[in-house]
Chain A
Amino acid sequence: MFRNYDIDLADMPIAVAPAAYRRSSSHVKILEQPKVSTDRDIDPVAYWAECLVRIRDDRDQKAFVEVFQYFGPRVKSFLMKSGADAAVAEDCVQDVMTTVWRKAHLFDPTRASVSTWVFTIARNRNIDIARRQRRPEPEDLSWGPQPEPEQTEVIGLQQETQRLGQVLASLPKEQRTMVEKAYFGDLSHSEIAAETGLPLGTIKSRIRLALERLRKGLT
């Protein structure tokens, strides 16, 4: 059963991420603040989780547009770094975002942030399209409908995600580049060696070091 959505794009507020998430990149269009001023001070991880709840419970298209305008360009950027051309990447963004709309009720804020969840959807879609392969996924943990998540667990995950972001930002540039290449460049360790001219052993130990730092930053 579908509800009737009557929505005019021109009335849509331009999505503006909470203050902490905004970047000064010239690519990002920052227009007016959203009219709901309470959104501004809230922690970004919590803010996006709330948007997903609005999409899930109220089928809120304004929340969808906000999520789209924030994550869409990031997904596109990830896909293009993984070798997709602009047109394919946009098609894929569309798929990923409609998946967010269809599966909002399967998002579990105690296990992942919205960024992580969207990343996994984009990665899987990318494998489907680019490699025409199946990607086997682990068995689901949940059995049947879940109760509303415990707030303390949600907050715990949000704090960890925040800290992961901070640690990642504070990595030395060289190490950050390594981790980025492993994720976005779609390069194996030996291919990274060929691209950067570094021997394989150095690469492996650098990636391990980078991840170890990430982990320590979280504990």
Chain B
Amino acid sequence: MAYSAGTLPEAMNLIVAAHVSMCDECRAAVEAYDAVGGALMDNVDAVEPLSDECLSNALALIQQTDLDPVLARPERKDPKVPLPLENYIGGRLEDVRWRSIGMGVKQSIIPTSSEATARLLYIPAGMAVPDHGHNGIELTLVLQGAFEDEDGRFACGDMEVATEDLQHTPIADISEDCICLAVTNAPLRFNSFLPRLIQPLLRI
């Protein structure tokens, strides 16, 4: 709903748009929420009158404007990367510049507005991200492979929504290295000492 209302930080819009590109059910849900927005806008109690110039300016503008050309839908450069994400990382997963964060896990931070942080995470097959809780929301969308935690198994296209209540240790499937898009709006709470120590350096 917040995606539809347009009230989310940029990083969260990004992950929702990426997930919706991979999940028809959630696309339908988003469009239903858009319809609520449309109906609310339609049924306002009092409308704001417009100045006369507003219409005459718009009419002047449309005289010089024809229908936009219909562009063919662009192809994904990497079948694993939905287009809204591709627009941020520029191309393929194999071209991502990873930085190690320890135990074989790598990350790459995606620049967005500061209210929330988006990063790609690379978890080698069978490896775990240290046990942690959440001070806010953590959204995790699987782009390759799969992972499992206390909440269940998440495969390609699935998105896990972790809130303050969830304490988890995500473990990548043994079959394939797992790549995820993860968005947080507050730092994670690691339980062991070492991750806590290096946490500020990694902005995680």
Give min CB distance, A53 to chain B, whole Å: 13
Q: Which residues of A contact B64 (CB under 8 A)?
A: 2
Take A73-B50, A90-B54 as given contacts and tell me if A136 and B37 are in contact as well, using a CB distance cutoff of 8 Å: no
Report A-chain residues with C-beta under 8 Å of the C-beta of B63: 2, 5
Q: Which residues of B have CB within 8 Å of A127?
A: 6
Q: Are A139 and B70 in contact (CB under 8 A)?
A: no
B113 x A131 contact (CB < 8 A): yes
Q: Is there a chain B Cβ closer than 8 Å to A25's Cβ?
A: yes
Partner of A138, one of B2, B39, B84: B84
Q: Collect the chain A residues with CB atoms within 8 Å of residue B57's CB.
A: 94
Chain B CB within 10 Å, residue with most, of A89, A112, A136: A136
Say yes or no: is B194 at the interface (Cβ < 8 Å to chain A). Answer: no
A76 to B47, CA, bound (A): 8
Q: Are B55 and A65 in contact (CB under 8 A)?
A: yes
Interface centre among A9, A97, A187 (most CB of B within 10 A): A97
- Contacts A90-B54, A124-B6, A182-B5 given; indicate if A136 touches B13 (C-beta within 8 A): yes
Number of interface residues of A (CB under 8 A): 84
Main SS of the interface on chain B?
helix
Closest CB in chain A relative to B9 CB, distance in Å: 8
CA–CA, A138 and B83, complex, Å: 8
Residues of chain A contacted by B10 (CB below 8 angstroms): 131, 133-136
> A180 and B50 in contact (CB under 8 A), knowing A9-B59, A103-B68, A187-B7?
no
Does A36 reach chain B (CB closer than 8 Å)?
Answer: no
- Contact of B61 with A by CB under 8 A: yes
Q: Please measure, in the bound complex, the distance between the C-alpha atom of A169 and the C-alpha atom of B43, giving whole angstroms.
A: 8
Which A64-87 residues sit within 8 Å CB-CB of chain B?
A: 64-65, 68-69, 72-78, 80, 86
Known contacts A2-B64, A136-B18, A182-B2; A73/B47 CB under 8 A = yes
Q: Decide yes or no whether B30 CB sits under 8 A from chain A.
A: yes
Q: Digitize B9-38: 1 where CB-to-A-CB distance is under 8 Å, 0 elsewhere.
A: 010011011101100000100111011111
* Min C-beta distance of B35 to chain A, whole Å: 5
What is the CA–CA distance of A40 and B59 in the complex, to the nearest angstrom? Answer: 25
Please pick, from A80, A94, A116, A164, the residue contacting B61 in the complex, using a CB distance under 8 A: A94
* Residue of B with least CB distance to A116: B38
Which of A1, A78, A182 touches B44 (beta carbons < 8 Å)? A78
Query: What's the A-B contact tally at a CB cutoff of 8 Å?
Result: 202
Contacts of B13 in A (CB 8 A): 135-136
Shortest Cβ distance from residue A23 to the other chain B in the assembled complex, whole angstroms: 8
The closest CB in chain B to the CB of A103 belongs to B68
Residues of A within 8 A of B32 (CB): 215
Enumerate chain A residues within 8 angstroms of B38, measured Cβ to Cβ.
Answer: 112-113, 115-120, 161
- Report the Cα distance A131→B10, complex, angstroms: 10
A88 to chain B, nearest CB (A): 12
A116 interface neighbour in B14, B37, B82, Cβ under 8 Å: B37
Question: Among A68, A123, A165, which residue has its beta carbon within 8 angstroms of that of B55?
Answer: A68
How does the 8 Å CB contact mask read for A103-133 relative to B, with 1 for contact and 0 for none? 1111000011101111110111011000101
Instruction: Contact check, A101 vs B65: say whether CB atoms are below 8 A apart.
Output: yes
Q: Report the separation of the CA atoms of residues A198 and B19 in the bound assembly, to the nearest whole angstrom.
A: 32
- Contact of A61 (CB < 8 Å), options: B4, B16, B62, B88: B62
Say yes or no: is B66 at the interface (Cβ < 8 Å to chain A).
yes
Q: Besides A97-B58, A135-B13, 6 other CB < 8 A contacts?
A: A77-B44, A86-B48, A94-B58, A94-B61, A115-B42, A137-B84
17 contacts between A and B (CB under 8 A): A5-B63, A9-B56, A25-B45, A27-B49, A68-B58, A73-B49, A77-B48, A97-B58, A112-B31, A133-B112, A133-B113, A136-B10, A136-B17, A138-B84, A164-B35, A214-B36, A215-B32
Q: Which 5 pairs from chain A and chain B are nearest by CB?
A: A116-B38, A73-B47, A115-B38, A136-B84, A136-B17
